[in-house]
Amino acid sequence: MSIKLPFLKFKDKQIPDKKRIEQQNIPEHVAIIMDGNGRWANKRGLPRVAGHKEGVGAVQKVVRAADKLHISALTLFAFSTENWQRSKTEVDFLMRMPKQFFHKYLPELMERNVRVETVGNFEQLPDHTKKAVWNAVEKTKDNDGLLLNFALNYGGRLDIMQAAKKMAEDIKKDELSIADVDESVFGSYLYTNGMSEPDLLIRTSGEKRISNFMLWQCAYSEFWFTEVFWPDFDEEVFMQAIQAYQQRKRRFGSV
Ligand code: FPP
């Protein structure tokens, strides 16, 4: 007969010791590909959208955890340029998520001094989504705490392409010379202009790919994957990711 000791149970659950987070080595910018909402719902015999609804709570949990660690920026991949291919019901539901999120959490975001931003093709979003996001961006614009950046109708290729087009227009208008174009200049045309590049990219649900997310910006990001579906993501899993990041040796091509 085996005896189950409480500390073994504790160990099995891999509860991280928060004291083991080194305050000196916190990633400045964390980006998350929130994946697995549909599978979370399927497993429970619920419609896919129930997973998205539950995922809203996980968003706020991660905001609180990031704020607690004084992380500077948190980017969340909320809707990709490819997500339009989903059913109209699901797309409509996802487009209502920002309004629901801000309705519930904007007062807390203000209390936490969080600044909301968005990257992606904003123009293509339905008016009610634009209004909800814009209202949050406006209300939080003077906050100087955590930058909460929603990637909405975002695609890495779209980002690079729109930057190349805008840059070409400026060259054509003689406002920029080809000789002056370098990585920093090109980066200033991207949706993420003015933001730091993600130090850590987390993807949930066991998938191990980048799926057209920040292709330029993640050139030197550390990747961390978890089997956890997004609706189950919480502070504990977030801390595991941070601890894993702190074990990495970042060399940026050097030795
Ligand atoms: C991927 O899971 C998730 C999405 C495409 C949407 C993410 C949206 C939320 C978490 C809602 C919160 C959003 C805001 C703006 C507050 P999936 O549906 O692809 O899951 P699956 O791979 O299991 O099917």
CATH of the domain at 63: 3.40.1180.10
| Whole-number pLDDT of residue 41 | 98
> 254 in a domain, yes or no?
no
The 3-class secondary structure across the chain, one letter per residue, is: CCCCCHHHHHHHCCCCCHHHCCHHHCCCEEEEECCCHHHHHHHCCCCHHHHHHHHHHHHHHHHHHHHHCCCCEEEEEEEECCHHHCCHHHHHHHHHHHHHHHHHHHHHHHHCCCEEEEECCCCCCCHHHHHHHHHHHHHHCCCCCCEEEEEEEECHHHHHHHHHHHHHHHHHCCCCCHHHCCHHHHHCCCCCCCCCCCCEEEECCCCCCCCCCCCCCCCCCEEEECCCCHHHCCHHHHHHHHHHHHHCCCCCCCC
Stretches in the chain below the pLDDT threshold 70? 1-19
| Whole-number pLDDT of residue 253 | 87
Structural domain tally of the chain? 2
> 236 in a domain, yes or no?
no
| Whole-number pLDDT of residue 174 | 98
Atom index in ligand 1 nearest the CA of residue 83 equals: 5
| Whole-number pLDDT of residue 254 | 85
Residue with tokens 């968003």: 59
160 and 131 within one domain? no
179 alpha carbon – ligand 1 mean position (Å): 42
133 and 96 within one domain? yes
CB 28, CB 71: distance < 8 Å: yes
88 and 56 within one domain? yes
Catalytic residue, from 12, 67, 83, 142: name it. 83
164 and 96 within one domain? no
CB 90, CB 49: distance < 8 Å: yes
> 137 in a domain, yes or no?
yes
123 and 96 within one domain? yes
Clarify whether 42 is annotated catalytic. no
- Ligand 1 binding pocket (C-beta < 6 A) is 34-39, 52, 55-56, 59, 78, 83, 94, 97-98, 101, 150, 205, 230
| Whole-number pLDDT of residue 10 | 38
| Whole-number pLDDT of residue 53 | 98
| 162-197 confidence digits (pLDDT tens) | 999 999 999 999 999 999 999 999 999 999 999 999
107 alpha carbon – ligand 1 mean position (Å): 23
122 and 61 within one domain? yes
Interatomic CA distance for residues 161 and 216, integer angstroms: 11
| Whole-number pLDDT of residue 24 | 87
Token reading at 50: 């129930």
Clarify whether 193 is annotated catalytic. no
- Which of 32, 33, 35 to mutate to test ligand 1, by most ligand atoms within 8 A of the CB atom? 35
Burial 131-165 (b: 16+ CB within 10 A, else e): ebbeebbebbeebebbbbbbbbbbbbebbbebbee
> 255 in a domain, yes or no?
no
Q: Could you tell me the residue range of the domain that residue 126 belongs to? A: 46-70+81-143
| Whole-number pLDDT of residue 18 | 52
56 and 117 within one domain? yes
| Whole-number pLDDT of residue 204 | 98
Angle between helices 88-111 and 127-140 (to 10 degrees): 10
